[in-house]
Structure 1
Amino acid sequence: MTDKTAAVLAGTAADTIQALNHATLGRQLDWEYPGDAYSVTGGLAHMAGMLPQAIEQIARLLKRLEEEGHLKSDRDTLGDDLEAAYAGLTIASGAAETLCGALNRAQHGLGAIAYKD
Structure 2
Amino acid sequence: MDQTTPRTAATIASDALRAIDDLNRATLNSGVEGWQEPGDAYRVITSLAIGGNSLIQTLEHVSRLLYDLRGQLASVDGTLQTENQVIGARGALRRARLDAESMEANLREALIFISGLRASSAVGPDATLPPQ
Q: Greater CA deviation, 40-49 or 81-90? A: 81-90
Give the aligned partner of residue 46 of structure 2: 42
Structure 1 residues 6-45: aligned runs within 5 Å: 6-26=9-29, 27-45=31-49
**Aligned-pair CA distance for 1:63:** 0.7
TM-score, normalization by structure 1: 0.92
59, 71, 76: which one aligns with 2:73: 71
Structure 1 counterpart of 2:88, which letter? Answer: A
Structure-2 separation of matches of 1:36 and 1:89: 32
TM-score, normalization by structure 2: 0.82
Runs of 4 or more, structure 1, over 4 Å off, are none
Q: CA RMSD in A?
A: 1.2
Alignment gaps of 5+ in structure 2: 122-132
79, 82, 100: which one aligns with 2:104: 100
Query: Is the CA contact (8 Å cut-off) linking 2:67 and 2:86 kept in structure 1?
Result: no
Q: Greater CA deviation, 25-34 or 2-11? A: 2-11
User: Higher RCO, 1 or 2 (CA under 8 Å, sep at least 6)?
Assistant: 1
**Aligned-pair CA distance for 1:79:** 2.6
Aligned residue pairs: how many? 114
Alignment gaps of 5+ in structure 1: none
Task: Give 1 or 2: higher helix fraction.
Answer: 1
Whether 1:59 and 2:67 are equivalent positions in the alignment is no
Q: Secondary structure at the match of 2:93?
A: helix
When Rg is computed on C-alpha atoms for both structures, the one with the higher figure is 2
Cα deviation 1:64-111 (Å, max 9, x = unaligned) = 110xx2101113211332122011100011111110000000011100
